[in-house]
Amino acid sequence: MEFLINLVLLLFLSAVTIAIIGVRNLFAVVVLGGAYSFLMATLLIAMDAVDVGMTEAAVGAGVSTVLLLSALHLTKTDEAPGRHSNVLPMALSVLTGLALVYGTWDLPRYGDADTPMNTYVGAEYLERSIDETTVPNVVTSVLASYRGYDTLGETAVIFTAGIGVLMLLKGRRRRKDEDGEDEGRS
């Protein structure tokens, strides 16, 4: 049953991705992107990653879609027809795909418990979390306690990105005002 739910969601995800490649209207692309994120969130919950699923639904499907829509509002909503041949990009992606599929041959199968990843460090966290941090949700204890510095670094990245966005868009407003004055004078 778990395999079946997983398979259906993966097929939906592929279908939405193909639609995103084909559609030329950017508004439709953004809405399909939201659907893609929700499917991804459902898939993550089906794979027991409940915290990740909720974050993806809120941030991936919510905030990302809002950001993309506001960017569309400030720019254009239609994509120009392609001028170049798509053969080279297609060849590049197929080549990359083949190399990656070759790489998956050595990966453990889905749902396997006896992999080094699941028996070594993951199991260790699950065993020690309650004794060392008293937090029942192991994702929370790893995020905030064992790997707290990771989270601090993440916050620094977001802060930097926020400053970057502010600086880029602040210049925009000032220039617009000057343009307005120029138009008024002439």
Partner 1 sequence: MEGLNELAFVLGGVNHWITVFLIMAGLYIIVSRSNMIKKLVGLSIFQTSVYLLYVSPGKIIGGTAPIISTDFAVYSNPLPHVLILTAIVVGVATLALGLALVVRINEAYGSIEEDEVYGDGDWN
- Asked if 145 interacts with partner 1 (CB under 8 A), we say no
Stretch 1-20 residues interacting with partner 1 (CB under 8 A): 2-3, 6-7, 10-11, 13-14, 17-18, 20
Smallest distance, partner 1 to C-beta of residue 116, A? 10
The DSSP line for 7-61 is HHHHHHHHHHHHHHHH--BHHHHHHHHHHHHHHHHHHHHHTT-HHHHHHIIIIII
How far apart (Å, rounded) are the C-alpha atoms in residues 103 and 97?
Answer: 10
- Residues 38-57, one symbol each (x = binds partner 1 by CB under 8 A, - = not), give --x--xx--xxxxxx--xx-
Comparison of 113 and 186: residue with beta carbon closer to partner 1: 113
Is position 61 an interface residue for partner 1 (rule: CB under 8 A)? no
Q: Is residue 109 at the binding interface for partner 1, with CB under 8 A as the rule? A: yes
CA distances to 8, 29, 81 from 86, rounded to whole Å, are 30, 19, 12
Among residues 8, 35, 149, 161, which is the contact residue for partner 1, using CB under 8 A?
161
